[in-house]
Amino acid sequence: MSRTQAGSVIETPADAVALFRAALPKEQKEERVFVLPLDGNGKVLAKPILVSVGHEDGTAVIDAGAIFREALKAGAEEIIVAHNHPSGNPTPSKSDIAATTKLSEAADLLGVPLIDHIILGRDATYVSLSEHVGVRQ
């Protein structure tokens, strides 16, 4: 699979991680939230779209409205969301899990499934919430 181009098919969380990592700056001083728009068959419609950058404390807001607005503009039929933890530890916080629940509920209402929420740590580390808490619809 070509992991850098629209038209790639996401088959595993690792496929999506490669795209999100390419969108992150080398220096990760604040959280960044991205949405990856997909067609109904997991095909990438556009590169990851930056939705939010961390505030003074470095924490970014996971805003369902902003995420779905960008996803729908890109023609998404399903989405994958990701954000980084500049600390390097990809372990989901309680607020990460709560945000994922809200995103999943919004996805249900809009008919645009949330396939995964991925938290990126340092180097090759990441946590796929679909694998760990059953986000996948």
CB 96 within 8 A of CB 19: no
**What pLDDT shows up at residue 131?**
81
Looking at residue 113, its amino acid is: P
**pLDDT the model gives residue 94:** 93
Q: Say whether 129 sits in a helix, a strand or coil.
A: helix
Amino acid at 49: I
Provide the pLDDT for residue 137. 41
Q: What is the DSSP string of 56-94?
A: TTSPPP--HHHHHHHHHHTT-SEEEEEEE-TTS--PPPH
User: Can you give the pLDDT at residue 29?
Assistant: 87
pLDDT of residue 2: 41
Position 133 scores a pLDDT of 62
CATH (residue range 13-133):
3.40.140.10
Q: Where are the domains positioned within the chain? A: 13-133
Residue-level pLDDT at 118:
98
Q: What is the pLDDT of residue 132?
A: 73
pTM given for the model: 0.90
pLDDT under 70: residue ranges of the chain: 1-5, 56, 133-137
Q: What is the pLDDT of residue 5?
A: 62
Cα–Cα separations (whole angstroms), residue 41 to 7, 35, 115, 119, 129: 11, 16, 11, 23, 20
